[in-house]
Structure 1
Amino acid sequence: MDPAIKPATRTFEDATPLLAAPEELRREAEKKGYLFFKHFFTREEVIELRGQMLNVLQEEGLLDPAAPLLDGIGNQPLIDGMTVEELNWNGIGTTQQVYHKIQKLESFHAVAHHPKLLGLFDTLFGERTFPHPRNIARIMLPSDKLNVTPPHQDFLHIQGSYKTWTCWAPVGDVPKALGGLSVLEGSHDTGLLGVTANPGAGGLESILCGLGYEWAETDYEAGDILIFHSLTVHKALANTIPGRVRLSLDLRFQPASQPIENASLLPHGPFEWDELYEGWTREELQYYWKKEQFTFLPFNEEIRWQKDKIC
């Protein structure tokens, strides 16, 4: 059976004990291509951000006014009236207007600079970490019109350094039924895979036939994080809980000495940093990359369509 549709046979193991054993942590990361940390952030930290993000949806009328804010229950009549184009804009699960307000949240961008998170990646990389400013939020409204994110490798979209890792963090409890993230354990060892077009986020689906790897996943709780290599194949599960919004973050990190592609320093979306920064209080979160001495690599469109690697 194609691993793209084969059900998961592995459950994540908590890598928290490895934080005290750097060499073991790096060996496990090299072996699996990902690490999972249970309750890495405090629940209170995550719920505070969740409230701010859901407040944006509430202001736009996208939440059920009769339900508690933190439950994240969608205003289904309004959502059902939205077009496929509105819901699938830029692969983030909601409209450009909503996403613009999310991108303006200082607290959203501050997560990538959390000292504990930077310390984790310093340990993994064995050197100083650079957090990409191009942070992504997924605000997946409850709708059958939404395209589920297909199996893919982040490197095709990020490029720059292969040593870039993603941190996927649920903003609230995300059981598998709500559409959490699943990873193909060990798939980073395959190198770049061939792709085919897919209407989900990113527009590309990795071709997985014959790889023989196994999917791994879990029921996430607020504060959990999953980190994975830029070549590790991963996908979103379908949201099968009626009415519930799913919130999550995609944050990316690399060794500071590694090359980078210029778009990783731009906002995610057709926005400008000066405008997004309006009202921020923490200057250290703004334009911090300008003091770096990067080697820039151009984006290579050709590697996104490697026909010779299609099985």
Structure 2
Amino acid sequence: MDPATKPATRAFEDATPLLARPEALRREARAKGYLFFKGFFEREEVMDVRRLLLNILDEEELLDPARPLMDGFGNQPVIDALKPEEINWNGIGTTQRVYHRVQKLEAFHAFAQHPKLMALFDALFGERTFPHPRNIARIMLPSASLNVTPPHQDFLHIQGSADTWTCWAPMGDVPRSLGGLSILEGSHEAGLLGVTANPGAGGLESILCSLGYEWAEGDYEAGDIVVFHSHTVHKALPNREPGRVRLSLDLRYQPASQPIERASLLPHGPFEWEELYEGWTREDLKHYWRREDFAFLPFDESIRWQKDKIC
């Protein structure tokens, strides 16, 4: 790309000092549509989850046996032998077999209800937080067949309450060269944008119409997170580190008083909760949403293709 036409970018600003000032935290969130927190988790907490994910890849022979496990280098001949439809299944960057094993991990789902995350969103919402159980892991294998996640807004896929926020948490160090998440700062103010089809995760790309917002991004270290509103446009950067696997979690939260769409209470993937719960020890993580008195909103397929929103 010609440097003169390259989209403007700005560096993430650490919102950690605002955690002690909830009103200021909410003002910043309303203004930017996202918040970045440096070192939000202890590094070892993240690396423990990383080890669980990489162990699954290793057992499935998807990691290079000549490299240290925690470095996360793929077994390229095995990965290259996967069909494009296998590696692009459900937008998670790996096969359904691998993802089924990930979704069975109690520690993966427990991480989504980490006390620090719940306290953060309680402060952001000014009320009790409900964590969606539909937790997503991105196990992005290094493959030329893998489609990069395009610019998009989560609300088109989640629906329910527009006040739903996503936490994107890298499971390990994710510099921009490995394909970190980039945020279009302030784009939540534009409302729902028109879309076009895209082969990346979610299948839809937001049409940005020269909105004039700047992309914000940075080099993530294990423990960093970014949280953003369901209308905030975001995208993955391409992985430019040959052979490296990129691991991250998409975790979603909303005010407990707000309505929800029923699919947000289902597992991510064609799985059943009772089967995923096999061997779990924490009863509080199971079917906890049954204690809520939600208003349910139907999924509206029509808003995903509003022609009058296309420029």
TM-score tier, shorter chain, comes to over 0.9
**1:150-161 matches, cutoff 5 A:** 150-161=150-161
Aligned-partner residue type, residue 172 of structure 1: G
Aligned-partner residue type, residue 130 of structure 1: F
Quote the offset at 1:186 in angstroms: 0.1
In the alignment, which residue of structure 2 is the partner of 1:204? 204
In the alignment, which residue of structure 1 is the partner of 2:20? 20
Distance 2:285 2:221 in 1: 27
Quote the offset at 1:74 in angstroms: 0.2
Aligned-partner residue type, residue 57 of structure 2: L
Do residues 140 (structure 1) and 134 (structure 2) align? no
| Gap regions ≥5 residues in structure 1 | none
User: TM-score scaled by structure 1?
Assistant: 0.98
In the alignment, which residue of structure 1 is the partner of 2:76? 76
Identity %: 79
User: TM-score scaled by structure 2?
Assistant: 0.98
**Is the CA contact 1:46–1:172 (under 8 Å) kept in the aligned structure 2?**
yes
Do residues 55 (structure 1) and 55 (structure 2) align? yes
Distance 1:49 1:303 in 2: 36
Distance 1:7 1:270 in 2: 38
In the alignment, which residue of structure 1 is the partner of 2:223? 223
Aligned-partner residue type, residue 250 of structure 1: D
Do residues 181 (structure 1) and 184 (structure 2) align? no
In the alignment, which residue of structure 2 is the partner of 1:123? 123
**1:292-311 matches, cutoff 5 A:** 292-311=292-311
In the alignment, which residue of structure 2 is the partner of 1:291? 291
Aligned-partner residue type, residue 161 of structure 2: S
Do residues 254 (structure 1) and 254 (structure 2) align? yes
Aligned-partner residue type, residue 167 of structure 2: C
Q: For residue 112 of structure 2, give the secondary structure of its aligned residue in structure 1.
A: helix
| Gap regions ≥5 residues in structure 2 | none
Greater shift in the superposed pair: 7-16 or 230-239: 7-16
Distance 2:289 2:135 in 1: 14
Runs of 4+ with >3 A deviation: 5-8
Q: For residue 212 of structure 1, give the secondary structure of its aligned residue in structure 2.
A: coil
Do residues 92 (structure 1) and 92 (structure 2) align? yes
Residue deviations 1:140-196 (CA, integer Å, cap 9, x gap): 000110000000000000000000000000000000000000000000000000000
Distance 1:83 1:110 in 2: 32
Q: For residue 107 of structure 2, give the secondary structure of its aligned residue in structure 1.
A: helix
Residue deviations 1:245-282 (CA, integer Å, cap 9, x gap): 00000000000000000000000000000000000011
In the alignment, which residue of structure 2 is the partner of 1:11? 11
Do residues 163 (structure 1) and 163 (structure 2) align? yes
**Is the CA contact 1:8–1:217 (under 8 Å) kept in the aligned structure 2?**
no
